[in-house]
Amino acid sequence: MTYENEGFIDERMEKNHKNGKPGEKNMMNIVVVGSGDFGRALAGRLAQVGYNVTIASRNPDNNRSLIPTGVKISNLSIITGADLIIVAIPKNFYTSLPGNLLSGKVVVDVSNRSSSSKSELSQAEYLSSLYPDCHVVKAFNVLSAYSLQTGGMQASKQVYVAGDNPAGRALVCDVVRTAGYTPVDKGLLSAAGDIEDIPLSLFPEWRLPFIIHVSIFSFFYMLSFVKFQICWASTWSESFLWELWNHIPMDNVNKTLAVHALTTLCLCYVPGVMAGWLQIYRGTKYSRFPNWLDNWLKMRKQMGLLMFFAASIHACLSLAIMSPLYQTPAYGEPTGVWVNVMEGEGWSKTPSVNKTEVKIFGSEQMSWRGECFLMAGVLGFAFVALLGISSLPSVTAGMSWREFNFIQSGLGWTSLLLICAHNTFYGWNYMLTSDCYIPAGFQFALYLPVLTILLKLPLTLPPLSSHLARIRGGYVRAGADKNNSDQFPKIGNV
């Protein structure tokens, strides 16, 4: 690519910032090549913020009814007078552009690929190879037509910009900023491939937390299946109790979610405790955490929200089956009576000759242990809901750091204690039992939480609490390890 026109670009930028009257918007001439959904939406957005925008189309007369208000439409010859050209057509039609009219101009490529390919040229680089005399800049591809049409709803969204010409990148960044978005300069055009991969990515920050959650649930579910459907069926009766398999779809899932939710909530607080002990051991906060711990700290938000999802399902299922038939530990054991049951079908039923034992539930109100179990669970879930809501950016933006820390740390640990109590009140009678060498779920659900609480407790009491506060305030112990101190990651609240 040639750069002999950089001075011309700089002059045009200066001219476009000065050609309006005081208080008026910039009247730069922008031409959008292509009248598709995205091209029209981008043209309409740029026109709304004050640019002089024209859509260049091969068939302008056929598209006039679709053009947004404030946007003109013309044929491709309008490119001649453009200060900035935005190419909003598919890659296969790049060769149809009038190359002689693009020479020396800044050309913005907004296209996206259908699949990621690290070995191929990005579409922006391909466009640059076709027309080496223009200055190609990659931008706007991370936006959608809908977000452009409702511009205010995503005004803080980042738009990545890349191009080999610094003046061209600066020009496009200024347009992005004026349109209400935040430009992120990614440097040379070689970064366009990474920018084009962004819309193709599927929850990249959620992938590992999701795998961890599914793995934990799968492990506990298989353990429940072996215990409830295999062990119990072979232990309680000489013949296999196939009726126990009726509980696979719901009861097994609900019991597994209870253990899963408590364990994953604990995993949100374990790394912070480990980071605290590590800082005490090193005597400084200016030292990089191990990569595995650093990554664990960074994905606590995703893990917490996935835990909230699992806890919500458990809460709904538990309330749906909150009856003595399913919740014997909360309501107490049933009363057995001998009665003559009705036999037969339809209207001809008659009392049986022999009496049959019938279990009567609900003769007594929920026991005190049952009420404590239920209240601890409800309060614990309510605090978890607050944790999830406060992690939303729109909510976080309205809170001070102290308020955010109080909810995420103070209420978070309170919810962990309440849910541990919820588990203990319900399963107290079964806590130390086991079947086929598999301990009760109430027991192994507490292994990690109890260990985490025991590790956290010393950090909340003097002298360790005050010593850790000094370290996080900048104190460095004499002889402390400060390797890689300039690379210490900003991990927020630990």
pLDDT tens digits for range 191-213: 999 999 988 888 888 999 999 99
| Alpha carbon of residue 103 to chain centroid | 43
Position 489 confidence tier, pLDDT thresholds 50, 70, 90: very low
pLDDT at position 236: 79
Q: What is the mean pLDDT of residues 423-452?
A: 91
DSSP, residue by residue, 113-124: -SS--TTSPPHH
Kindly report the average pLDDT of the chain as a whole number.
86
Q: Among 313, 266, 258, which Cα is nearest to 423's?
A: 258
- Token pair 């890349």 in the structure block, residue: 162
Q: What is the mean pLDDT of residues 98-126?
A: 89
pLDDT, one tens digit per residue, over 128-180 is 999 999 999 999 999 988 888 876 554 457 899 999 999 999 999 999 999 98
With 50 as the cut, is the pLDDT of residue 20 above it? no
* Six token digits for residue 268: 């949100």
- Give all domains of the chain, ordered by start, each with its CATH number: 28-200 (3.40.50.720), 207-339+354-487 (no CATH)
Q: What is the mean pLDDT of residues 456-476?
A: 93
User: What whole-number distance in Å separates Cα of residue 181 and Cα of residue 178?
Assistant: 7
pLDDT at position 482: 54
User: Which residues share a beta bridge with 87?
Assistant: 33, 109
Position 119 confidence tier, pLDDT thresholds 50, 70, 90: low
pLDDT, one tens digit per residue, over 401-430 is 899 999 999 999 999 999 999 999 988 888
Share of the chain above pLDDT 90, in %: 58
With 70 as the cut, is the pLDDT of residue 481 above it? no
With 50 as the cut, is the pLDDT of residue 488 above it? no
Q: What is the mean pLDDT of residues 298-310?
A: 94
Q: Using CB atoms within 10 A of its CB, is residue 21 exposed (0-12), middle (13-18) or buried (19+)?
A: exposed
pLDDT at position 349: 82
Q: What is the mean pLDDT of residues 84-113?
A: 94
| Alpha carbon of residue 489 to chain centroid | 21
pLDDT at position 370: 85
* Six token digits for residue 336: 């057995």
The one-letter amino acid at 271: P
With 70 as the cut, is the pLDDT of residue 338 above it? yes
Please give the residue that has the higher pLDDT: either 347 or 245: 245
Q: Are 440 and 329 in contact (CB under 8 A)?
A: no
Position 461 confidence tier, pLDDT thresholds 50, 70, 90: very high
Q: Which residues contact 123 (CB under 8 A, 6 or more apart)?
A: 91, 109, 111, 112, 113, 192, 196
Q: How far is CA 325 from CA 87, 161, 233, in A?
A: 66, 62, 19
Please give the residue that has the higher pLDDT: either 262 or 115: 262
Share of the chain above pLDDT 70, in %: 88
pLDDT, one tens digit per residue, over 32-81 is 999 889 999 999 999 999 999 999 988 887 767 788 889 999 999 999 99
268: number of Cβ within 10 Å:
23
User: What whole-number distance in Å separates Cα of residue 173 and Cα of residue 410?
Assistant: 42
Using DSSP bridges, classify how beta strands 350-351 and 342-343 pair: parallel, antiparallel or unpaired: antiparallel
The one-letter amino acid at 177: R
Q: What is the mean pLDDT of residues 186-191?
A: 95
Q: What is the mean pLDDT of residues 331-356?
A: 79
Q: What is the mean pLDDT of residues 439-468?
A: 94
pLDDT at position 22: 40
Q: What is the mean pLDDT of residues 345-357?
A: 80
The one-letter amino acid at 64: R
DSSP, residue by residue, 126-191: HHHHH-TTSEEEE-STTS-HHHHHTGGGGTT-EEEEEES-HHHHHHHHHHHHHTT-EEEE--SGGG
Q: Among 152, 153, 155, 161, which Cα is nearest to 181's?
A: 155
> Which range among 200-209, 252-261, 355-364 has the greatest average pLDDT?
252-261
Length of the chain in terms of residues written: 494
